[in-house]
Amino acid sequence: MAEIKVQNLTKKFGDFTAVDNVSITIADKEFVVLLGPSGCGKTTLLRAIAGLGMADSGVITIGGRDVTYLPPRERNLSMVFQSYAIFPHMKVFDNIAFGLKMHGADQKEIDKRVNEAAELLHIENLLDRFPSNMSGGQRQRVAVARGIAMKSEVLLMDEPLSNLDALLRLEMRAELKRLLAGIDATTIYVTHDQIEALSMGDRIAVMQSGVIQQCAHPTTVYDLPDNHFVGSFIGNPPMNFFHAQVEKHDGKILAKVGDYHITPHQVMAPLLQKYEGENMMMGIRAENMETLDSPADDALKVQVLVVEPLGSQNLLTVRIGDDTVKVSTHPDLKVASNDYVWLRFPADKIRWIDRESQRVIYPS
């Protein structure tokens, strides 16, 4: 059992707080991705779990054992770094065997584990080569092979695909996912690439400014972000946000965009009362609006600013009030710049956001 539990962890560099009172539990054999923009504290948190940077406060347990003050080698984990960190003067075999040797494994065991790891990563024919004679992708595989050869119960990976070109990255992403599913380690995987996070993680912990903003299954993080930041960080295009004025009409509470009324979901309506007279933020994904090429009573008229044909969809840029919104449409819908289209907003796809706290108040 290798559950990782981080409780109230804070790490500062001088006056700067890189990780701010973070708590997260990663279940045994779970694959959690730490995702967030550059500088949000992902690597600092991972390094603290690895024992490579002592936390200022907080507790870290692995498999129920308090490791907060233990050095890395006593934490029984493997780490794969962004920069490969493979030794240029050692052949691939010795690079993969390095950790095993350090742990005093006998030669027979070393041979077995190195060959197994090399086979899994399809680099068995490279064992006799020096890293300088290999491509970036092959070196990256060596680094991953070294990480998994240890068969540690915990695997920490920091942007292991970051040095690869886009195509190789795409290939390796799927390969790595297959591989990690087969080795049963509790894994924390750091990336700033949200597609990688969505496609690989059992759960995604989205970080900003040293704080975990949301930790949930990829589809939850995508569809039901807890706040504006998560919606704006996840997805390509990110979630759209526009503003609407909350008003009462004929005793019914609703949100107005120009002359257009958005009637809230019946569960939402009572929550909306306290926003009467205020401006509220609404969030909706590009693919969740319905686009019509002729007027309808329940649809908002908007002018198309830009049409981007992307093959499987056309991405329209329109304006709703003062906000720019991206709308995904079927390529068969023939629209050009400056045309008008009419948008429907299904009630169950709208996320209602409190402007002050930036939190999604419905659905939550």
Interface with ligand ATP (CB under 6 A):
13, 18, 36, 38-44, 192
Q: How far is the CB of 10 from ligand ATP (least distance, A)?
A: 12
- 185: helix, coil or strand? coil
Task: Name 241's bridge partners.
Answer: 283
Nearer to ligand ATP, 8 or 279 (CB): 8
State how far the alpha carbon of 91 is from the alpha carbons of 19, 48, 323, in Å: 37, 30, 56
Q: What is the DSSP letter of 91?
A: -
The DSSP string of 230-285 is HHHHSTTTTPEEEEEEEEEETTEEEEEETTEEEPPPTTTHHHHGGGTTSEEEEEE-
Nearer to ligand ATP, 36 or 264 (CB): 36
Q: How far is the CB of 191 from ligand ATP (least distance, A)?
A: 8
Nearer to ligand ATP, 34 or 244 (CB): 34
Nearer to ligand ATP, 41 or 264 (CB): 41
* Residue pointed to by tokens 């009462």: 248
Nearer to ligand ATP, 39 or 258 (CB): 39
Nearer to ligand ATP, 17 or 61 (CB): 17
How far, in whole angstroms, is CA 117 from its chain's centroid? 27
Q: How far is the CB of 48 from ligand ATP (least distance, A)?
A: 9
Listed residue (173, 187, 213) closest to 50, CA to CA = 187
Nearer to ligand ATP, 18 or 77 (CB): 18
Q: How far is the CB of 215 from ligand ATP (least distance, A)?
A: 15
Q: How far is the CB of 212 from ligand ATP (least distance, A)?
A: 12
- 82: helix, coil or strand? coil
Asked if 290 and 330 count as a contact pair (C-beta separation under 8 A), the reply is no
* Neighbouring C-beta atoms of residue 276, cutoff 10 Å: 11
Q: How far is the CB of 41 from ligand ATP (least distance, A)?
A: 4
Q: Which phi and psi angles does 118 have, rounded to 5°?
A: -65, -40
